[in-house]
Every structure is written in structure tokens, then in C-alpha cells.
């Protein structure tokens, strides 16, 4: 999106995992990716266990995020993109993969002319199909480093977690010329607090104790936990899809 068009009236930022969708997309995709390569579940359990131990031992979420992406060292990005679309088709076919109140909020903001931004520590192969399906304008995500041949090195430019999300929010606000009072944000985890503090209208889904305390104090919007499918809202197609893929990943 360029800065030459009219300024939007609003911008709405949505965390994805367990705020918009009902699963942690990184782990759901990892399980799918390994299954496509013949894993019976044992390799997934091993990798997941290693990541959980790292977190339990006190490693910052950003470092756990980096460890996750090392799993894909040597994998061409295009293979992950193709697998991500297969994963999403399977995920969307489940009974109720989205949180109904969050999806309704997204639709309401979109209908009001807001720019819809998905914020996530996950990555484009997983998030682009979600963004297309819900009508997001932008995706701000962790960006794995690739070599000149488009193969992942195992490193990530910067995990899109915590402070990085907050900085992304203020950057988008500045680019679009939208102030905090006309900015909305939705999250589910205490690591989302930094970006929620940058919007004038924060919202919470879930039972994170840090966010619950802040939400009660400052009268944030609460989103319920009922789940739903996309109903009549199918994936975007044509130029809309191309636009998201070409300009939405920051």
C-alpha cells in the first residue's frame, strides 16, 4: 500500500494465533509439514518438546521463535508457501477454526473502511492464506532469512513479538497518517501488551492474567471465545490476493 491514496479513517491490528484463529499456527503448520514428509508424530513431539523445554527454562519468547525457524534451515521458501496453502485448506475445513467475536470485529472494521493488519510471530507461508480469507490488507510477521536462491538459512530477521509488534504498529500508524485514537488492537497474551498500549482502543480475547488485569483497569473491550467458520466469506481472489501478497508483508 502506498501513501498516495486517501488516508483511511481507522486501522485495526489483530494478533492471529489464539486471538483470531483457534490454534497456534506455527505449531499446527509444523505438524502438517512433518506429516507431509512421512512423520508419524514422533518427530513433531520431539521438536515441540524441545521448544517447550526452552520456554520452561526461561528463554524469551523471541529466542524460542528463532529456534522454531531453525527447523526449516535448507528448505526452499516456495515449498513452505505451497505447504502452507495446503495446511490452510485443511484447517479451514474444520468445523470452527476462527473465534467468532474476533472475526466479527474484523468484519466490522473492514466495513467501516479500516485498514486491517494481521500481526504475528508466525510467518508468511501460514499467514498469507489466512489474510486472504479474512480480507486483511497487510501482514506484519516474522521474516525468515533466505539466501539468493530463496532457501531458508534458519535465521529470522526479527521475531515479530513484544516490542517488535509495538514498533510495527507505530510504523504503520505513521505511514497511514492514523493516530492512536483511530487505531484498534486485539490480542490474547501478555506479550501483546506492548502493541496494545499503542492503540486507543485495545481489545482482549482469552484469560491471560496480565491482560485481564489491564483490561479491567482500563475498560478494554472483551471478545468471547465462541468459535465459527468463515460462513459465506470465501477467500479473496484475483487482484485482491495479488495485492496482499505483493505489498502486505512488511
pLDDT of 95 reads: 78
Evaluate whether residue 1 is within a structural domain.
no
Evaluate whether residue 6 is within a structural domain.
no
Q: Read off the pLDDT of residues 51-71 as tens digits, 9 standing for 90 and up.
A: 999 999 999 999 999 999 999
Evaluate whether residue 2 is within a structural domain.
no
pLDDT of 248 reads: 44
CA distance 99 to 103: 6
Evaluate whether residue 97 is within a structural domain.
yes
Evaluate whether residue 242 is within a structural domain.
yes
For residues 13-50, one letter each, b for 16 or more C-beta atoms within 10 angstroms of the residue's C-beta and e for the rest, the string is: bbbbbbbbbbeebbbbbbbbbbeeeebeeebbeebeee
Percent of the chain with pLDDT over 70: 90
pLDDT of 4 reads: 52
Please answer whether residues 115 and 21 qualify as being in contact, where contact means their C-beta atoms are separated by less than 8 angstroms.
Answer: no
Q: Which of 151, 155, 153 is nearest to 77 (CA)?
A: 151
Evaluate whether residue 219 is within a structural domain.
yes
Q: Could you give the C-alpha distances from 8 to 116, 129, 162, 176, in angstroms and in order? A: 10, 24, 26, 7
DSSP of 154-208, one letter per residue? Answer: EEES---STHHHHHHHHHHHHHHT--GGGEEEEESSGGGHHHHTTSSEEEEES--
Q: Read off the pLDDT of residues 73-118 as tens digits, 9 standing for 90 and up.
A: 999 999 999 999 999 999 999 879 999 999 999 999 999 999 999 9
Evaluate whether residue 195 is within a structural domain.
yes
pLDDT of 230 reads: 87
DSSP of 98-166, one letter per residue? Answer: EEHHHHHHHHHHHHTTPEEEEEESS-HHHHHHHHHHHT-SEEEE--EEE-TTSBEEEEES---STHHHH
CATH assignment of the domain containing 223: 3.40.50.1000
pLDDT of 73 reads: 98
Task: Give residue 98's domain range.
Answer: 11-247
User: In what order do the strands lie in the sheet containing 138-141?
Assistant: 138-141, 115-120, 11-15, 183-187, 201-205, 221-223
Q: What average pLDDT does this structure show over 146-160?
A: 96
β-bridge partners, 138: 117
Q: Read off the pLDDT of residues 5-49 as tens digits, 9 standing for 90 and up.
A: 677 889 999 999 999 999 999 999 999 999 999 999 999 999 999
pLDDT of 231 reads: 66
With a cut of 90, say whether residue 125 has pLDDT above it.
yes
Q: What pTM did the predictor assign?
A: 0.89
Number of domains forming the structure of the chain: 1
Evaluate whether residue 138 is within a structural domain.
yes
Helix (H, G, I), strand (E, B) or coil at 76: strand
Amino acid at each position: 500500500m502506498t501513501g498516495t491514496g486517501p488516508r483511511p479513517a481507522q486501522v485495526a491490528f489483530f494478533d492471529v494465533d489464539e486471538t483470531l484463529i483457534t490454534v497456534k499456527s506455527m505449531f499446527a503448520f509444523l505438524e502438517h509439514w512433518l506429516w507431509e514428509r512421512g512423520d508419524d508424530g514422533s518427530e513433531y513431539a520431539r521438536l515441540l518438546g524441545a521448544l517447550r523445554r526452552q520456554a520452561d527454562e526461561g528463554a524469551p519468547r523471541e529466542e524460542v521463535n528463532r529456534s522454531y525457524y531453525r527447523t526449516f534451515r535448507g528448505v526452499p521458501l516456495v515449498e513452505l508457501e505451497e505447504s502452507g496453502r495446503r495446511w490452510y485448506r485443511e484447517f479451514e475445513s474444520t468445523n470452527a477454526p476462527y473465534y467468532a467475536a474476533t472475526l466479527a470485529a474484523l468484519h466490522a472494521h473492514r466495513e467501516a473502511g479500516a485498514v486491517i493488519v494481521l500481526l504475528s510471530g508466525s510467518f508468511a507461508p501460514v499467514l498469507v492464506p489466512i489474510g486472504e480469507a479474512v480480507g486483511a490488507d497487510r501482514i506484519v510477521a516474522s521474516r525468515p532469512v533466505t539466501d539468493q536462491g530463496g532457501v531458508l538459512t534458519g535465521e529470522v530477521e526479527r521475531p515479530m513479538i513484544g516490542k517488535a509488534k509495538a514498533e510495527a504498529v507505530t510504523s504503520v500508524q505513521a505511514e497511514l497518517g492514523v493516530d492512536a485514537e483511530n487505531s484498534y488492537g486485539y490480542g490474547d497474551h501478555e506479550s501483546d501488551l506492548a502493541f496494545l498500549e499503542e492503540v486507543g482502543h485495545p481489545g482482549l480475547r482469552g484469560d491471560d492474567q496480565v491482560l485481564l488485569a489491564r483490561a479491567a483497569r482500563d475498560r478494554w473491550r472483551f471478545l468471547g471465545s465462541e468459535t465459527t467458520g468463515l460462513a459465506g466469506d470465501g477467500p479473496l481472489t484475483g487482484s485482491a490476493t495479488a495485492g496482499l501478497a505483493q505489498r502486505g508483508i512488511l
